[in-house]
Amino acid sequence: MCSEDAGSVQGDQSQSGPAERLESGEQGQTSTSSFKRPSENDLQDGRTNKKHKSNYNPKTKAMLQSELDQAKKSIKALNTKCSRLKRENNTLKDQNMELQTSMMELREEHNLPKMDDSDVRNRLQNLMNLYRDWAREYSPEEPVDFDSLPSDMPRSLHESLFMHTTCSGNLKALSKFTYGKFIFLNTFLAHFVCWFIVENPIFFLNREFQEQKKCPSRQFLNELMECVPRHKKDAWIGWTLRTLEPKLQGHGGNSRIVEYNGILSRTTTFYEKSARSFIDMTAVLLKPLTEGAVANRLRSLVHVMATTGTLVLRLRQQNYDVKYLTSDAGLLQGKTFSRTSETMEPHPALRLKQDDKSLDGSVIDFTIQPAIFASWFDGPGEEERVKFWTKAIVWAGGCEQIGIKKRGGISCQENRTESSQPEFSILSPSETSSLELLSAVEIPAASTSHEAQTKYSPMNSSEISTRPMDHMASEAKDTRLIVNTALNPAPTDAERDGPALLSQTLNATEDAESGDESCEDFVTQDS
């Protein structure tokens, strides 16, 4: 029976196919390999894993919370740093835009739009008329009594340059002329404005109105200009003023409103304080007024200062160095009077016709209204150019030419009848045509800047509309509430007829006083 079982097993094995035998062989190999001895590498890996497991210490909840808090703090610090970097990036972008704008302005510097010369002359002539009208409105009709002036007035006024300029000549004629105080006050005002506004490019930086020796903005500018080449100073000042000025809407301006209000406030304050200082300084030359008229006088003078400052700033923005000229400085220094001069003309009270050369060669007593001119550097060689916009109005020949009664003398009607009546209004066409000669330098056609214009050339309206300083001036007027009724009163006979009527009144008074008394002959010079 056992043999049968063994035979059956062998029979089964003999009957199994190759696939079955192969499978059984693989199973035998697998069972044999599973009991193989581990290698040295396997033993080392096992020992290492056991060692790590033995050193592992699980973190507590407090430790995990502390790590979480540290991570939160790190994230918060990184967020703060990112915000700061974003702000710095935005600031750098703004600065980049400003630099690009500045570069564009510098590239367009040589093509900077200029005001027409005839328009500049007209505006300056209007300013001179403002000075004259204000002085005539608020000065008494009487000669200047120099003996009655306070002793501290010449001393205090002499501390400023404009007093030295005004008193450098002979003012004795004003002590005999009926309207001497009017001319004297007009002279003071013209020199005052020229020194403290025309001659000071950054006058609006003054917190307090001060004289030239104590003017911080002028000292700052002088120190700063020592670091700038001479031929670049005017361009630097012009660029600075264009940068500081307010921008009109619609012209791509991006200046901040704080800067605009700051400049407007400074200029308004300076105009008001300079007007008050001038009134205090020349109180002895002003006629007494009521309280309301005193306020109008101050407002009208502030308007005069503001109109002058606005025009001067606008001219300096065009890279002009605006200057003034008197008889004791510059081109007029040491020169005698000449009727055909391109830099001077007589005061209308001297009653000289256009072709009257009777005063030629006379010493210039003093300058009433300084000449206004401009200088700039242009061309490849950076050559300095000069052109005059207005002539200096001077007094020459003392009082002999104005029909003034001399003490101990008789009336001389024959000398007065040949004299023409003075005209204090705007110059006649024959006189204004001579202003064409004031543009001393003609710029070549290749140059687009500082081209000399004729008197009747049309004005480019875009120049005014694109200049924001006019906008600032208009708002400054609104801020100051300038309602200048004093400068525009109802016209009187004296104002309609001008000093011609005043001269007739003067002559009639002299005839009545002199009668048949004797007087000296008028001293006139041959033409």
Instruction: Tell me how far apart the alpha carbons of residues 398 and 357 are, in angstroms, rounded to a whole number.
Output: 15
| Backbone dihedral angles phi then psi of residue 119, each to the nearest 5 degrees | -70, -40
Instruction: Note whether 179 and 132 are within 8 A (CB).
Output: no
pLDDT computed for residue 47 by the predictor: 61
Q: Which range scores top for mean pLDDT: 91-95, 164-168, 348-352?
A: 91-95
Domain contains 45: no
Instruction: Note whether 284 and 178 are within 8 A (CB).
Output: no
Higher pLDDT, residue 267 or 190: 190
- Assess whether pLDDT exceeds 70 at residue 126: yes
Question: How many other CB atoms sit within 10 Å of the CB of residue 223?
Answer: 9
Domain contains 6: no
pLDDT computed for residue 308 by the predictor: 92
Domain contains 22: no
Domain contains 476: no
Looking at the structure of the chain, the number of domains it has is: 1
How would residue 49 be classed by pLDDT, with cut points 50, 70 and 90? low
By three-state DSSP, how is residue 377 classified?
A: strand
Rounded (5°) CA angle 29-35-36: 90
Helix (H) or strand (E) holding 232, with range, is: helix 230-244
Domain contains 171: yes
Instruction: Note whether 199 and 316 are within 8 A (CB).
Output: no
- Assess whether pLDDT exceeds 80 at residue 187: yes
Q: Which range scores top for mean pLDDT: 12-26, 119-133, 215-229?
A: 119-133
Q: Please give the residue range of the domain that contains residue 261.
A: 102-459+491-514
Question: How many other CB atoms sit within 10 Å of the CB of residue 18?
Answer: 7
By three-state DSSP, how is residue 370 classified?
A: coil
What sign has the CA pseudo-torsion 225, 227, 229, 232? negative
Domain contains 268: yes
pLDDT computed for residue 464 by the predictor: 30
pLDDT computed for residue 337 by the predictor: 84
Amino acid letter, 367:
T
Instruction: Note whether 424 and 498 are within 8 A (CB).
Output: yes
pLDDT computed for residue 395 by the predictor: 84
Average pLDDT over residues 140-169: 59
First to last CA, the chain: 177
Domain contains 395: yes
Domain contains 466: no
Higher pLDDT, residue 408 or 225: 225
pLDDT computed for residue 165 by the predictor: 47
Q: Which of 16-25, 141-150, 373-382 has the lowest mean pLDDT?
A: 16-25
496 token code pair: 């309609």
Instruction: Tell me how far apart the alpha carbons of residues 367 and 357 are, in angstroms, rounded to a whole number.
Output: 19
> Is the pTM here over 0.75, yes or no?
no
- Assess whether pLDDT exceeds 50 at residue 93: yes
Beta strand spans in 329-391 (E): 344-346, 364-369, 371-378, 383-388
| Backbone dihedral angles phi then psi of residue 58, each to the nearest 5 degrees | -65, 140
The one-character DSSP state at 58 is: P
